[in-house]
Amino acid sequence: MVLKDFGLNPKHLGAEIGMTMVLHTNIRRMEYHPHIHVVIPGGDIDRRNRYWKKLKGKYHSNERALAKVFRARFLSVIQAAGLVNPKKASGEWVAHCVNVERGGEALKYLSRYLYRGVLSEQNIVSSHDEQVRFKYVESESGETKFRILPGEEFLHLMMQHVLPKGFRRVRGYGLLHGNAKRLRSLIQLILHVITEQFAPRPRPVFKCPCCKDPMLIVAFRRNISRPG
């Protein structure tokens, strides 16, 4: 992986980085535009000496060098797999690197796309006469604009963003992998991080219809006299 190799470079960090990668498949006009957002912590742990290695400077990688290497490797993999190599592929690919400080706002931004569809029902203005009209906010100007599409074209637009079975929209790597809890606990210990403890949400209780006291649920049993 290109980002992993850049992180192992002693000029940048010289360690195996952690990453959270989120796949987006659309732009605000709902057109098909697959791209990946990556959140990378500004350091990693030296597993041998057990100390935190901080990133040199404010950026993990030079975005121009990152885009150039990724393009070369991507096209090389396509060719090795026997797929059709796009001859008209642009000579310059885009890799946009931004320092987001603590990263909380970036995580909030990405989380909105994980638990909702590509287009909420609130943005569908009307659907009649075989035409669908929806609104979106243009990223450059911040203005609300509208698109009108035939019903079948609108459905085709939405179906492009349905991921294949087994394809995950978000993945974690390194210290941000789901199985790296012990490593994250070690990092919190080294950095003296105290995590806030959240009280569990109280579960609703079932009250006895006679005495009104909470009942202890032992088991649920379906009424076998009813079908289904």
CB < 8 Å & 24+ apart, contacts of 10-13: 11/56, 12/55, 12/56, 12/60, 12/61, 13/43, 13/44, 13/53, 13/55, 13/56, 13/60
Stretch 85-106: mean pLDDT:
77
What ranges do the domains of the chain cover? Answer: 2-117+164-190, 119-160
Give pTM, 2 decimals.
0.69
DSSP 164-202: PTT--SEEEEGGGSTT-HHHHHHHHHHTT--PPPPPPPP
| pLDDT, position 224 | 63
CA distance 80 to 11: 30
Q: Read off the pLDDT of residues 51-82 as tens digits, 9 standing for 90 and up.
A: 788 877 777 778 888 888 888 888 888 888 88
Is the Cβ–Cβ distance between 18 and 40 less than 8 Å? yes
Query: Of 114-118, 177-181, 213-217, which range is least confident?
Result: 114-118
Query: Of 37-41, 44-48, 96-100, 221-225, which range is least confident?
Result: 221-225
Q: Read off the pLDDT of residues 130-175 as tens digits, 9 standing for 90 and up.
A: 899 999 888 778 889 898 999 899 988 888 888 888 888 888 888 8
Give yes or no for residue 227 having a pLDDT over 70. no
